[in-house]
Chain A
């Protein structure tokens, strides 16, 4: 089946720094979703992308739908302590496909 690859498993940054994370696959995806999960809570949708090349922002977050449709990127600018959490990418390969999730990247922000 389709797999989404997120690496590294953990990232450590200093408060105020920018951070970029990506999500790759060997399959073509038609929708990319980025979620953030705080400890003990459910994932919250950050950004949804529907078109190759699309660039969408949500506050300090910017995500892009890769031109090849096999990857997506999430950037967080000027990180703050509340950015700590697990960031998941997810996507659909087709209109009737199930949502596929990456394993997530745990982000830590040092004050």
Chain B
């Protein structure tokens, strides 16, 4: 089945630790995105990538890093510099980044602090 797979479903981070969230898509989409969702809030854009080996900061990039070495993969690292990392993280993709394309989402990773 075509879709977006995020793993793990649940992740726990210790103080001072970096953790990496995985996002893989087999939709052959060029663009990929990472969002953070907090209770009662809309989705806030962390990073996005329009094409392989290219990515841009979103609205809340501080304390996060990404890479896009393959078209199908866009991992997100939550670094120790992110002081409030507890949230639901959503990965999305679209055919291209422009031309009003709908974004399709994975099922999310919930990150908590130990």
| In contact, B100 and A95 (Cβ under 8 angstroms) | yes
Q: Roughly how many angstroms separate A69 CA and B67 CA in the complex, as a whole number?
A: 36
Report the nearest B residue to A99, measured CB to CB.
B103
CB-based contact A104/B102 at 8 Å = no
Is B108 touching A102 in the complex (CB atoms < 8 A)? no
What is the CA–CA distance of A45 and B106 in the complex, to the nearest angstrom?
11
List chain B residues, Cβ under 8 A from A40: 107-108, 110
Q: Which of B51-107 touch A at CB < 8 Å?
A: 58, 90, 92, 97-100, 102-107
Which of the residues A42, A48, A99, A102 comes within 8 Å of B107, measured between beta carbons?
A42
B-chain residues with CB within 8 Å of residue A9 when the two chains form the complex: 40
Which residues of A from 17 to 73 have beta carbons under 8 Å from B?
30-31, 33, 35, 40-45, 48, 50
Residues of A within 8 A of B103 (CB): 33, 45, 90, 99
Measured in the bound complex, the distance between the Cα atoms of B92 and A33 in whole Å is 14
Main secondary structure of the interface of A (DSSP, over half): loop
Q: Is the CB of A45 within 8 A of B42?
A: no
Q: Is the CB of A95 within 8 A of B99?
A: yes
- Mostly helix, strand, loop or mixed at chain B's interface? loop
A residues contacting the other copy or chain, number (CB 8 A): 25
Residues of chain A at the chain B interface (Cβ within 8 Å): 4, 9, 30-31, 33, 35, 40-45, 48, 50, 88, 90, 92, 95-96, 98-99, 101-104
Residue pairs across A and B with Cβ atoms less than 8 A apart, 25 shown, are A4-B42, A9-B40, A31-B100, A33-B102, A40-B108, A41-B108, A42-B90, A42-B105, A42-B106, A42-B107, A42-B108, A43-B105, A44-B105, A45-B104, A50-B100, A92-B100, A95-B99, A95-B100, A98-B45, A98-B48, A98-B58, A99-B103, A102-B42, A103-B40, A103-B41
| Other contacts beyond A31-B100, A41-B108: 6, CB < 8 A | A42-B6, A42-B92, A42-B105, A42-B106, A101-B42, A103-B42
- Chain B residues within 8 Å of A, Cβ to Cβ: 4, 6, 40-43, 45, 48, 58, 90, 92, 97-100, 102-108, 110
